[in-house]
Every structure is written in C-alpha cells, then in structure tokens.
Structure 1
C-alpha cells in the first residue's frame, strides 16, 4: 500500500517538485493551494487550504482522511518570504509572516496529529530554512519565523515520539523557485538611512535565488528521509558554503561571525 502524503503549498516551487517526485515514485500525493482551481498542470490532486485559516486546514485534512483513510506523511512546505529593515517593515506584515511561516505549520500539525496517533505512525517534515539558523540583515523576520519553527520541531518531536510519530525539519538553502515574486518587500525608500545598503542587499538576495539549486535536489532529499526508518531531527540541504555557515556560527566568536556576514553583504 502506497504511503499517503499531504504537502502544503504544493502548486509551485519546492512543494510542487517534491509532490511530482513522490507521485512518480508511487506515493499517493495530495497537495494544497489557496486557489487550487487556478492550477491546471498538477499531476496530483490539489486541495484548498490556507495555512492562516484553521477551518480550511481542518477541512483539507478531513478531506484527505475521508478519501485515503490515513495520512502517513505531512510536509509543511507553505511559506512566504519577507525583506526589509526591521525599522521600516510594517508590524502587520511581520505578524502575517509569522502567521504563515510559524503558526500555520503548527496548526497543520495540530490537525493531523490525532489521525497519526490513531495510526500509531506518521512523519511530519517541517520545511524551514538555513536562514533560520542565523539573523540575516534585511531578512530578520524571515530568519526569526523559520528559526522559531526549528525550535518548535525539537519540542514536538519529544512530545509525540511515544506515539510512533517522527517530526523532522529540513532547512533548504537557496533554490531556484518563484519565492522572490511572492515575498513581501519593504520598499526601498528614497532618502532612507537604509536606501543604499538595503537596495544592494535586496538585489543580491534575488540573484542568489535566481542562481539557486534545482528543487529536484530537495525532492530527492525528502524521498530519502521518508524512506529512512530512523530519520534525523534536522537536515540542511544546499550548497557547501551555505551549510558550512551554520558550522561557522557555532564555532566562531559572535562578532567575528557578524563581521563575516556584513562583509558578505557589503554592509
């Protein structure tokens, strides 16, 4: 019997790549989108779900259970980017980012855990970010929301282990997706104290995404994690230097690491 997989944010980018890969490997895949009726090229079914709406999460999860009778794997992939100086990002936009990147995945976990507990098995994969391991200039809110999800993953893992459920996080680096187009950009304000440095950093961030790795690498990594009987708690997927930056943060004095980041971003 093929495993039943539910992927939030499955209509584009990393979520779509993962869904297609697993579908072609014989998994029963259900993706989600806020507007699935607008998607015409999905090889797997898409269900309406907005991670900021608890009712829509519950309805989507119950729809999958009613059809497939179980949920074996949940991939919390839906997320949004946000950039800007902390001083200039509207607080409402900060809250919206956390609603999507942090509270949304928690709501999905709360919705699927009763079913997984009944099955006495299940795997939840929270897609975070290598950016969640460090505070990056002009990406502080994004780093914070993904870092918070990393920490919650550790806590929930211990809480549900006795039920036969595994929780893991997967932190990707830069991948060539359309995340930049859906990201909230605080405007580069003419005459702002941050005009020059933020404008240059924003351009650099977009270039990194455009030249990022192939999302199929993430799909393969997820496939291998699903097939691992004893998955690790944390995974980092990306080019060597992105993963090595986490190691450097752990071993270098704080201010030296900060200087390295500032030099990288030319601040």
Structure 2
C-alpha cells in the first residue's frame, strides 16, 4: 500500500516544520512548501516552491505534486504571518498583505486541491488558525480578523464538501515558541502617538508570551491525532489551560465583562 501524501504550506520553520517532521516519522509522505526552498528535502520533508499569495505558483506546485505522486490525501494550511499595530496607524498595504497570506492564500490552496480530492471522493483539509481568531485582541486586531475569517469559512466549507466525502477542520494554536514574533510585521511605535505607551507595552508582553510558549511538537501531535479521526469536529484548540478557557469565558461572560478581562490581561 502506498504512503498517504500530505501537503503542508509554510513548512520550512516553526509549527509547519514540526508537523512535517512528526508526520514523516509516522510514515507519511510529506511535501512542504516555501516561497524559496533552500533544499529539495529537509528532515525528510520534500519541498515545493509555492507562494500562497500567487495563484499561479499555487497551481504549479499542486500540479507538480499530483504528477509526482498521483494523490494528495491531506492538505494542512499552515502558511501565515503575524501583524501588530494600532488599527488606526497600521498601513493599508500591510493589512492587505496579511489577509492575502493568512486568509485568501489559504482559500486559494484549498481551491487548487479540491478538484483532485473530489475526483478521488476523499481528502482531509486542516486549517491552522489561532486562538487569537476567537476574539479581537488589542494591537492584534488584523491578525485576529484573518484567523477568525478562516475559522468561519471552514464552518461553511465543511457543509458544502460533505457530499464529496472531503473533511475539513480548524486547529487553533495558542502561544508557541516559534520565530513568528521575529517574522511578523510590526507597525512602528510612533513617538508622540496617542497609542505609543500602550502599544509599546503590549508588544513587549506579546513577545514574552511567545518566548514562554509551548513546544510546537504539541501541535504536531494534535494534528496527527486529528488526522486519525473518521468524523472530526469543527474546531480544535491547542494551548495552555488559560488560553483555551478564555474562549469558553467569551461564550459565558457578558461582552463588557469579557472586554474588561482582556484589558486587564494586557494591562490597558
């Protein structure tokens, strides 16, 4: 029996790399993507050149993979970027850039693999979102919006795909010790800005959370566990107890109470 084929976007570092390496150990044939792969294979992950913001790049990579292996059994939409800044002061072109990567990019990759999965009447798509997508966070509003949009889109997609025996789910990580803080776009702290003091303090707090984040291997293990489920649920969360509990509280507390809780957490 041939190995099942997994396609992971954004697999050159962080959570994507951890997932890829773990699945290789479990016997899957793993293809990862990067905008500019340094090698054809790293740690057992075979790499394809793919830029999620370029539909032509996506189409070529998917076609190449199908030509090589004849199948794509799993798609793990992991490619993404972070962004921070006061909403009022974040440049429009940076907002568009992160939506193109985190949201529209994921949708384009899904569209590229669906015809193949539909022809096989099978497939499993896992969208890596974020616990931040469940709430509007101060100075991370755009990032929250991109991940929240993907969460809701997955809910709709699941219903549309059931006829074709294609599964889809979200897995939302909390803070993990990765290089996302170094790679995200930071709107500059502007001297004299009305947001200067609070934004600067919140940036330091966010970086501290990432530095103290959990090992990405926990995400890899969760993704593998979800892949084994015949009837996966819609939303999964991976993070420390408080981060997951904060989502439950949002459904329980009055809106203003929850807002006060968040502001206290971010010392605002």
TM-score of the alignment, normalized to the shorter chain, above 0.5: yes
Shift of 1:39: 8.0
TM-score normalized by the length of structure 2: 0.98
Q: Contact 1:11 / 1:39 at 8 angstroms: preserved in 2?
A: no
Let me know the Cα RMSD of the aligned residues: 1.0
1:106-136 Cα offsets, whole Å, 9 max, x none, are: 0000000000001100000000000000000
Ranges in structure 1 where 5+ consecutive residues have no aligned partner: none
Shift of 1:230: 1.0
In 1: Cα distance, 2:40 partner to 2:4 partner: 24
Matches within 5 A, 1:89-128: 89-128=90-129
2:229 is the counterpart of 1:234: no
In 1: Cα distance, 2:61 partner to 2:48 partner: 6
Q: Contact 1:18 / 1:219 at 8 angstroms: preserved in 2?
A: yes
The corresponding residue for 1:16 is 17
Shift of 1:233: 1.0
The corresponding residue for 1:138 is 139
The corresponding residue for 1:48 is 49
The corresponding residue for 2:59 is 58
1:80-114 Cα offsets, whole Å, 9 max, x none, are: 00000001000110011100000000000000000
1:190-224 Cα offsets, whole Å, 9 max, x none, are: 11111110000000001100110100000000001
Shift of 1:38: 6.1
Matches within 5 A, 1:206-245: 206-245=207-246
Tell me: CA distance 1:39–1:249, structure 2 relative to 1, closer, same or farther (3 Å): farther
2:79 is the counterpart of 1:88: no
Matches within 5 A, 1:164-175: 164-175=165-176
TM-score normalized by the length of structure 1: 0.98
In 2: Cα distance, 1:38 partner to 1:183 partner: 24
In 2: Cα distance, 1:40 partner to 1:192 partner: 47
Shift of 1:3: 1.1
Aligned length: 267
The corresponding residue for 1:72 is 73
In 2: Cα distance, 1:14 partner to 1:37 partner: 18
In 2: Cα distance, 1:67 partner to 1:214 partner: 33
In 1: Cα distance, 2:41 partner to 2:185 partner: 26
The corresponding residue for 1:37 is 38
SS at match of 1:159: helix
In 1: Cα distance, 2:169 partner to 2:4 partner: 17
Shift of 1:44: 1.2
The corresponding residue for 1:191 is 192
SS at match of 1:107: helix
Tell me: CA distance 1:2–1:40, structure 2 relative to 1, closer, same or farther (3 Å): closer
1:174-198 Cα offsets, whole Å, 9 max, x none, are: 0000001110000111111111100
